[in-house]
Structure 1
Amino acid sequence: DRRRDYLHTLSTRLVRENQVIAIEDLSVRNMVKNRSLSRVISDAGWSEFRSMLEYKADWYGRRVVVIDRFCPSSKTCSVCGEVASAMPLNVRQWTCRCGVVHDRDVNAARNILAVGLTVAACGDGVRPPRT
């Protein structure tokens, strides 16, 4: 009940304070198959949080933009746009060729926001360039 109450409170606050909310489409079902992360992911209630965001956004006339799960949000430099070739999950900080040091999660959040705002402004179908 505490978790559900927290998720309700957080989702309501986010929807009331923002016109557009950008989230990444995560495959929670596949992520739970990882034995070392399954309990933590299940306890977080990501699927439940997403559904709360979506129906509350409908109530308040807001928009939830879901970014493709294959968008390289963690590997793309939020400053210059360079995409790193490979990045295992244990790498939490990395340095881009342009010299900027990124925290993996903060960088991903910046990229998800940028893509979400682009989709909100230009419409669906905005994808990063493929090499």
Structure 2
Amino acid sequence: MRLKNMDRRILVICYMGMNRSKYLADYLTGLGFKADCAGILPETKNLATQEKIDQSDILIFVMPRIKEKFLKQYKINKQEIITLDVEDRLDILCPEKDSHTPSEAKEVYEAKVYPKLIQQITEHISSL
């Protein structure tokens, strides 16, 4: 399958730039896209920078509320914006359980979060 423009640079954005955005950036890279990830919370080690944003052609937000916060903090120019709606908070995904071990959290992400990311981005891949 030859897609429209595999040379376009994609930046996937979530809160910390370590879970949803990293997974999706890795997935897109595996398909042949030039993808990176970043977070918007100041405490992340993978913080979005204006330079990363300026070098991107497409910005993918994993949640609408992340896009809203991002737009208050950063300037965008010509970038195409794609907004997904994929929750990863364990208290929402598994309200019946108060806490999760790292391996339990990973199981939840693999069962509920990552498949939803793939499903939602698949709807946009032909336009990338």
Structure 2-normalised TM-score?
0.33
Higher helix share: 1
Structure 1-normalised TM-score?
0.32
